[in-house]
Amino acid sequence: MAAVNVLEAKGLTKIYGGLEANVDIDFQLPEGEITALIGPNGAGKSTLVGMVVGRILPTRGSVSFEGADISHLPAHQRMQLGMAYTFQITSIFPGLSVYDNVALAAGQKLAGDKGAHDQKTRQVLDRIGLADRHDQTAGDLSYGHQRVLEIAMGLAQDPKVFILDEPTQGLSETEVDAFIALIKSLAGETTILLIEHNMRVVTETADHITVLDQGRVLASGTPEEIRSNAAVQAAYLGTTTDA
């Protein structure tokens, strides 16, 4: 039985003056699966994600979430529906403890229930491996641990769609290995959109891959289909394994 698409974009287009950042993008996120969005720098990945999460107004096209058109909704209302988004640049609260960062995120869902709030916060910290650092000031964490904390803040919101923008950027190989294991463990619990340059991460985690090139969809398919696609090899994969 085919997976239901929890999110669909149809004909998404963004034109800045005469510059076509994205043109007629059709895009789906099957429920409970991991979809990777890849492409060379300047391919239009960030613009597309901005339109999906409501931070960029499309020139034309639509976005639907669980079958309802959300094209008119601003970013904060899309978050309330169940979308969580981590940025390329960490957006933690550096002066607060690790625990308080996650507790703030969990509070958006569990306000008013202190017991459930504390339990949820500790469950998330334990799951992502930061329980032993719960009282540490977030700004004192290594860069890799700050990235993991940001993921924890997203998970604390129990997102229906979790969008991770370059989550392994700046991580060591050991930290990348831990990230891959974490993302694999989330399969089936939430729907993930992964924007990533590290092709090892993509091929080891993604169920589906969409490739953008010059603002357009070049190809979509399984990792095997994308790897064997001649157009993708010429435009992207053939240049480097970590473009």
Q: Write the DSSP assignment of 147-198 as a string of letters.
A: HHHHHHHHHTT--SEEEEESTTTT--HHHHHHHHHHHHHHBTTBEEEEE-S-
Burial of 43 (0-12, 13-18, 19+ CB in 10 A): buried
Per-residue pLDDT at 77 exceeds 50: yes
CATH of the domain at 209: 3.40.50.300
pLDDT for res 72: 93
Q: Do 163 and 78 share a structural domain?
A: yes
Q: Do 45 and 2 share a structural domain?
A: yes
Q: Do 229 and 135 share a structural domain?
A: no
In a domain, 130, yes or no: yes
Mean pLDDT for the stretch of residues 196-204: 93
Dist CA 210 CA 26 (whole Å): 10
Domain count, the chain: 2
- CA nearest 44: which of 218, 224, 242? 218
pLDDT for res 111: 57
Pairing between β-strand 34-38 and β-strand 208-213 as defined by DSSP bridges = parallel
Question: Please, which pLDDT band fits residue 242 given cuts at 50, 70 and 90?
Answer: very low
- CA nearest 161: which of 83, 48, 109? 83
Task: Tell which wins on pLDDT, 90 or 32.
Answer: 32
pLDDT for res 2: 60
In a domain, 182, yes or no: no
Mean pLDDT for the stretch of residues 147-152: 90
Query: Per DSSP, which regions of the chain are E strands?
Result: 5-16, 19-30, 34-38, 60-65, 68-69, 83-86, 161-165, 191-195, 208-213, 216-221
Per-residue pLDDT at 243 exceeds 70: no
In a domain, 18, yes or no: yes
Query: In the Cβ-directed half-sphere of 126, how many Cα atoms lie within 13 Å?
Result: 6
| CA 21 to mean position of chain CA atoms | 20
Mean pLDDT for the stretch of residues 56-75: 96
Q: For the ranges 6-15, 20-29, 129-138, 182-191, which has the lowest average pLDDT?
A: 182-191
In a domain, 231, yes or no: yes
pLDDT for res 235: 75
Mean pLDDT for the stretch of residues 17-27: 93
pLDDT for res 28: 94
Dist CA 226 CA 141 (whole Å): 37
Q: Do 102 and 51 share a structural domain?
A: no
Task: Tell which wins on pLDDT, 34 or 171.
Answer: 34
Q: Do 76 and 100 share a structural domain?
A: no
Residue type, 202: V
Q: Do 236 and 193 share a structural domain?
A: yes
pLDDT for res 241: 43
Question: Within 10 Å of residue 54's Cβ, how many Cβ atoms?
Answer: 20
Q: Do 9 and 119 share a structural domain?
A: no
In a domain, 87, yes or no: no
Q: Do 163 and 145 share a structural domain?
A: no
To 5 degrees, how large is the angle CA 35–CA 36–CA 42? 140
Question: Please, which pLDDT band fits residue 90 given cuts at 50, 70 and 90?
Answer: low
Dist CA 54 CA 158 (whole Å): 19
> Structural domain of residue 120, as residue ranges?
93-152
Task: Tell which wins on pLDDT, 19 or 86.
Answer: 19
Q: Do 122 and 106 share a structural domain?
A: yes
Question: Please, which pLDDT band fits residue 109 given cuts at 50, 70 and 90?
Answer: low
DSSP string, 196-226: -S-HHHHHHH-SEEEEEETTEEEEEE-HHHH
Q: Do 54 and 24 share a structural domain?
A: yes
Dist CA 176 CA 169 (whole Å): 9
Per-residue pLDDT at 172 exceeds 50: yes
Per-residue pLDDT at 240 exceeds 60: no
In a domain, 125, yes or no: yes
Q: Do 210 and 237 share a structural domain?
A: yes
Task: Tell which wins on pLDDT, 117 or 1.
Answer: 117
Q: Do 224 and 170 share a structural domain?
A: yes
In a domain, 88, yes or no: no
Question: Please, which pLDDT band fits residue 3 given cuts at 50, 70 and 90?
Answer: confident
In a domain, 183, yes or no: no
